[in-house]
């Protein structure tokens, strides 16, 4: 490992407190956690978690669209009630998901 340098960046104070609490539970410092994160970032050549712009909770319209897309995917083109796995039919799955 090379020479260490000091890096300054801004972080929300509440988030910093939460990270410090986690670091303490892990018997690490904030600095050590940031070094682990940076090392993984370089090693994997990507952010080591998914970043998404999707809302935390889908709206009812979006939920309905997602369910319809799922149903379209499990029903055959002819609309027959095919078995999708473990003897469960598409119609049974629809009824279960709508509960």
DSSP assignment of 19-36: HHHHHHHTT--HHHHHHH
pLDDT (average), residues 15-35: 92
The tens digit of pLDDT for each residue in 47-88 reads: 887 777 765 555 666 666 666 665 565 454 455 555 545 556
- Looking at the chain, the whole-number percentage of residues with pLDDT higher than 70 is 53
Q: Which residues of 85-94 are buried (b: 16+ CB within 10 A; e: fewer)?
A: eeeebbeebe
CA atoms within 13 A on the CB side of 79: 0
* pTM score: 0.48
List, in sequence order, every residue forming a beta bridge with 83; answer none if it has no partner.
89
């Amino acid at each position: 490992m090379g020479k260490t340098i000091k890096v300054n960046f801004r972080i929300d104070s509440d988030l910093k407190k939460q990270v410090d609490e986690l670091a303490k539970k892990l018997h690490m410092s904030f600095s050590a956690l940031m070094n682990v994160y940076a090392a993984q970032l370089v090693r994997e050549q990507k952010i080591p978690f998914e970043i998404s712009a999707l809302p935390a909770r889908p709206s009812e319209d979006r939920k309905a669209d997602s369910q319809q897309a799922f149903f379209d995917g499990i029903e055959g083109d002819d609309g027959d009630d095919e078995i999708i796995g473990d003897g469960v039919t598409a119609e049974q799955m629809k009824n279960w998901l709508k509960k």
